[in-house]
Chains A and B, each alone.
Chain A
Amino acid sequence: MTLAHPAALLLLAFLPLIWWLHRIASRPRVTRVPSVLPYRDAPPADPRALRRRADLLLVTASAALVTAALAAAAPGFETRPGPIAFLALYDDAWNAAAATGDGTLGRRALERAERALREVVPGVSIETIAVERSSAGASSSEPALAMALARAHAAGAATVVFVSARPERAEGRVPAIGPGVPPLPDWGIEAVREAEDGIAWVTVRRTAAPSAADAERPVALCVDDGPPRPLNFDGAGVSRVAIGAVLRDTPTRLRLTSPSGSPWSDALAADDATLVRRVGGIDRILTSGIPAGPALLRAVAACDVELRPARADDAGSTGTARLLTGSESGASSDSMPTLFLAPAAGVRIGNERSGGGVAVAVGAAETTGADVLGGPGADVLPAPRTMLAAPVRLRIRDSALGSGAEVLWSDALGVLAARGDGWAAIAADPDAPGSTWGGDASLPVLLKSMLDHLGGGPERLLLDAGVGAAPLAPESLELPTRDELLRAVAAKRPPSMSSVPGRVLTAAAALLLLALFGLVSGAGRSRVFRAVRERTAAP
């Protein structure tokens, strides 16, 4: 038998007070009468008759006080708790991470966790259910956890504990236990952007701040095989570092490093390395030797693109497009993106890969900018008074439209500008007689748009995904502490039978107090109180 609140036994100190009250109340009460003469004929009474009620009151009051004191002390029997339907749900991500070592680390961790639980709750029955995780994201674990909980409760498990390396993922109604350590800080190369001066800047973001001691061993960024560049993170955990120019044909390798001995150096080496490549855009336009007109040259110069005749070593170079004008046509097997400018009638545009391309038909000679309609991909239209000299119109086959070809400009007679996979075509000739298009701003804009399309998009720096990304796996899994286990289990532990004696005593005390109230509220109340008042008022 143990007492949860032994201090409540101090209530027994009131027993002498009850006895004192009884001693006063049990004295024969003296009634002062004018004369005892009328009472002389009455037979003498039994003196015990005077004490009967007071004795009953004493017993009742004493019993009520004792039971109330014992009930307040909350006694309980030291009985060993029986087997508890206890279910531990293990985070599958934890297991997977632990399995990245020699394959037995996760299993050993689970065995240690079960051993710790059995030590805390003797006789506990543990069933392991791996919470399936559809992806690596943390948010995807909650539905799987909810389903696992539903199955556990349906199976009659009264206590469910979610054991995870990241217990914050558990729901609020599930006690979660896990390593009692804060999450490790993590770094990642977030973006690379190029400034107008051609200098590339790398953005590195930190997910959690390291401790003050660890912050003294900073993380640095290495560009290719160059020296480490220190990273200074602002309050938002962002650091920007200039890495110089990134060439189109030479990818730049970025890597986050940490001095040897840092707690996160291994993790950094595993997943925080990436490549930066320059992609998109057209740097040069190759011609077949036909000299370009002045309007075209101005437009090409405005796009900051080199225009020159093709050479033998240009084959396979990146950032290069071919310009064909008039009746020139390219080989269908050539993969170099091609820009057709004012093609002649009968020229086939495009290749077999693009569904046969576009046929050129003879049409009206000239049109004005006011008559030009823009297609879905048109960024600009010619000025209304601009005269376009286009002796032909483009006739786009249905097969080409189905493979992604789109119309940019058109008028009532047909298509003036279109583009498809690996080709772009402009029916109007800016240098033709009568054309005023060379003085309109829409020419370089359309030309730039055509070149970006041919180059696979505007010129930009592309950051590859993590190189050799691997899940974060600490070398040693830390188990929850004993206190953490106790708190998690005690929160859901079913009530013990040891509190039954306290409840019985409480009920008994209540009944005794009720009986005492009934006795005192009757004839005895005024008698007791009056007797006390008389005795205490006596000199």
Chain B
Amino acid sequence: MSGDAPLFDAAFLAALERLSLACGRLRVREGEGRLARGRRGGRVEFAGHRVYADGDDPRLVDWPVYQRTGRLYVKEFEREDERSVLVLVDDSASMETAGAYRTAARLAFALCYLAVARGGRARVALCGGGRLTLSPEVSGKGRVSRCAGLLESPGFAAGSDLDAALLRVPRAVRGGRDLVLVSDLLSEHDGRATVPALVRRGDAVAVLRLHSSAITQAGAHSAAVIEDAETGERLLVDRGASTLAAEHLTRLDAAWSLSAEGHRFRYLALDAGRPVEALVLEDLVRAGVVA
């Protein structure tokens, strides 16, 4: 990674600050009941006023303001989230080849930043090659850079055994966390067997699959030899193989979606070519991964 552009440059960090503000407003709009469901602890802080609407709790009406202005305003509050977030980033060789790791690392850091911005704690982990490398758990924006240090030194190991890596999670961290797995899931052991176990122990799990159009470009117009970035295995594919590869990924998405629905975790396929801001504000918020 040393030869490439900086993973977390000043522009990206500035974008994170804007991202945290935008997500904060979204969270208020959607109400905190959904965020507070099943959770305990945390602080509630005054966030601002808005015009009273029908159905609002009368207890939230700011009567002194009504006395001065003659109009009804309700007070809005924010809850400081004190939950811990663990973002698992697949740093296998396949992530490097498609250029997806850069997006994955930035997305992981953005999620950590959002978590600590809400008062929570966050840590990241690299899970390529069946290993699990954890960063220190941090709280507060000033310490989140410790997570960046781990993300900037990926191993790009050959072979991505996500099942083996995820099996190490219960022994490494306590349950009841928010677990976000960011990977291309291009492996025989893509974690589909171990994620349900994490859900069962109380973790809120979200699986984010990063896909790139470059993955299915080989064999688009002519016959070609393709080489697996992790194993070195070569295949001679004919023209039209890219279509079959795209169909394979579609079936992969369907299988993950079915598993997510059955085991109550979230699954989302993201375009690795999009900016992280767009991924967070549009895809993750729309999917409820970020509230």
Contacts and interface: CB of A to CB of B under 8 A. Distances in A.
A112 interface: no
Contact of B223 (A34, A36, A41, A49): A49
Contacts of A40: 235, 248
Interface stretch (B140-148, B198-206, B214-222): B214-222
B7 interface: no
A31 B227 contact: yes
A43 B238 contact: yes
Nearest to A47: B236
B233 A41 contact: no
Interface in A23-41: 28-41
B256 to A, nearest CB: 14
B241 interface: yes
A30 B184 CA distance: 22
B186 A37 contact: yes
Contacts of A16: none
Most buried by A among B230, B235, B240, B249: B235
B236 A45 contact: yes
B59 to A, nearest CB: 55
Nearest to A51: B223
A50 B230 CA distance: 24
Nearest to A44: B236
A10 interface: no
Interface stretch (B90-98, B124-132, B259-267): B90-98
Contacts of B17: none
A83 to B, nearest CB: 61
A38 B245 contact: yes
A31 B236 contact: no
B226 A30 contact: yes
B135 interface: no
A49 B98 CA distance: 26
Given A29-B225, A31-B225, A33-B228, A42 B97 contact: no
**Closest 7 pairs between A and B when the two form their complex, measured CB to CB:** A45-B238, A34-B94, A38-B245, A35-B186, A42-B241, A38-B248, A49-B223
6 contacts: A31-B225, A31-B226, A34-B93, A44-B238, A45-B223, A523-B222
A36 B235 contact: yes
Given A28-B236, A49-B238, A523-B221, A34 B186 contact: yes
B187 to A, nearest CB: 7
| Residue among B187, B216, B224 with max Cβ neighbours from chain A (10 Å) | B224
A25 to B, nearest CB: 13
Contacts of A29: 224-225
Contacts, number: 117
A31 B222 CA distance: 12
Contacts of B234: 30, 36
Contacts of B225: 28-31, 50
B188 interface: yes
A46 interface: yes
Contacts of A36: 226-228, 231, 233-235
Interface string A263-300: 00000000000000000000000000000000000000
Nearest to B223: A49
B97 A33 contact: yes
B224 to A, nearest CB: 5
Given A43-B238, A523-B221, A35 B227 contact: no
B285 interface: no
Nearest to A45: B238
Contacts of B227: 30-33, 36
A9 B95 CA distance: 54
Contacts of B230: 34-35
Interface residues of B, number: 43
A119 to B, nearest CB: 67
Scoring B187, B212, B236, B249 by chain A CB atoms within 10 A of each residue's CB, the highest score goes to B236
B237 interface: yes
B281 interface: no
B217 to A, nearest CB: 8
Given A34-B94, A35-B215, A36-B235, 9 more contacts: A28-B225, A30-B225, A33-B229, A37-B188, A38-B216, A38-B249, A40-B235, A44-B235, A49-B222
B193 interface: no
Interface residues on A, range: 20 to 34
A49 to B, nearest CB: 4
A528 to B, nearest CB: 13
A32 B224 CA distance: 10
B244 interface: yes
A41 B244 contact: yes
A247 to B, nearest CB: 118
Interface centre among A28, A32, A33, A523 (most CB of B within 10 A): A33
A24 to B, nearest CB: 15
A45 B235 CA distance: 9
A44 B240 CA distance: 11
Interface string A499-525: 000000000000000000000000100
Given A42-B219, A42-B241, A45-B238, A34 B184 contact: yes
Contacts of B212: 34
Contact of A31 (B94, B186, B224, B231): B224
Interface centre among A38, A39, A49 (most CB of B within 10 A): A38
A29 B236 CA distance: 10
Nearest to B190: A37
A45 B186 contact: no
A538 to B, nearest CB: 15
Contacts of B248: 37-41
Contacts of B240: 42
Contacts of A47: 236
Contacts of B93: 34
A455 to B, nearest CB: 118
A44 B236 CA distance: 6
A50 B237 CA distance: 10
A35 B249 contact: no
Nearest to B234: A30
Contacts of B188: 37
B186 A39 contact: no
Contacts of A46: 223, 238
Contacts of B236: 28, 44-45, 47, 50
Contacts of B100: 34
B187 A39 contact: no
A351 B84 CA distance: 162
B250 to A, nearest CB: 10
